[in-house]
Amino acid sequence: MDKKGISRFYFSFMCLLLILMPSFEVQAASQDQGAVLPHLIQTVTQQDTYEGMIALGMLQCPVLEKPDSESAYENVKSCVVRVNMGNAYGSGVVWEMTADRVIVATNRHVLAYWQETDSFLYFQQGYYMDADILGVSEQYDVGFLSVDNGQFTYDELEKLRSAVSDVTVYEQLEQGDEMFCVGAGPGPEVGELLFHTAVLEDRARYLVDFGTEMLYGRGFARTGMSGGGIFDGYGHLIGMVTGGTLQNEVAGVPLPVIAEAYMEIVSGKD
């Protein structure tokens, strides 16, 4: 349900209450003349609406019922961001949206260039936002940036989308499944995205260059796409673009590793 739909529902609900209130008051008075009636009409703020949309999953990228990478790309491109760091840049994915902040996942090696003085995020909705490093994994090539929601209006927040990540879906991936990589495009055009289809070879293959198990497939990734998303043909996030070769090989941090790193970082903040 979109924001207008919520408003229409709220208006109709209030009208119904106004119709029912007289009979309610008479009944209550007959039971106890001294009773104080409860407040039946309450205001709903934009913050309430936004938090309700998060709870209902309305601010996640939609997923398809049948695999189609090109169509899925149109759904997920709104959750991929560009990480700008002076003369360097990388990519990120909106991992989670909360009442207070927007969390962006990226590679740890991307955040090695992050400087508070000249670094910022560009969202596909046209927003340029400051961010802070929430934390980086000591074990994996994963890190997270945190954007204070106070930089957005609620109308702007409601236009953002986070990726759909489901470890159960990841565990059902098989060799030969279609997937695709999305990351920031080259050059000064901050709004440009790169989209490359690929085929899954192994969802967890040990790669010597990384010293750990990685999502591995046949496809293409170029400089600047690091930290971007690897999605299945339906639009589920299944990994994070981390490296590629001239032999059309692409490697990414697997989804379970991203989730594990996030939980470790968040629990360490408590």
**Cα–Cα distance for residue pair 41/229, rounded to 1 Å:** 44
**Cα–Cα distance for residue pair 205/235, rounded to 1 Å:** 22
- The residue written with tokens 């934009």 in the block is 46
In the chain, the percentage of residues whose pLDDT exceeds 70 is 83
| Of 17-26, 107-116, 162-171, 181-190, the least confident | 17-26
User: Can you give the residue ranges of every domain in the chain?
Assistant: 3-44, 61-270
- Encoded tokens for 123: 């969202």
User: Domain 61-270 maps to which CATH number in 3.60.15.10, 3.30.70.600, 2.40.10.120, 3.40.50.150?
Assistant: 2.40.10.120
Closest CA to 233 of 14, 64, 17: 64
Determine if the pTM surpasses 0.75.
yes
**Cα–Cα distance for residue pair 30/176, rounded to 1 Å:** 72
**pLDDT of amino acid 43:** 79
Tens of pLDDT, residues 212-246: 999 999 999 988 999 999 999 999 999 999 999 98
Across the range 172-191, mean pLDDT stands at 88
Assess whether pLDDT exceeds 50 at residue 56: yes
Residue 82 CA: distances (Å) to CA of 13, 23, 86, 105, 251: 42, 58, 12, 11, 19
- Look over the chain and give the mean of its residue pLDDT values, rounded to a whole number: 87
Residue 140's pLDDT band (cuts 50, 70, 90)? very high
Assess whether pLDDT exceeds 60 at residue 5: no
Q: Which residues pair with 212 in a beta bridge?
A: 207
Higher-pLDDT residue of 15 and 182 is: 182
Residue 191's pLDDT band (cuts 50, 70, 90)? confident
Tens of pLDDT, residues 83-130: 999 889 999 999 999 999 999 999 999 999 999 899 999 999 999 999
**pLDDT of amino acid 39:** 59
Residue 186's pLDDT band (cuts 50, 70, 90)? confident
Contact 75, 125 (CB under 8 A): no
Assess whether pLDDT exceeds 60 at residue 13: no
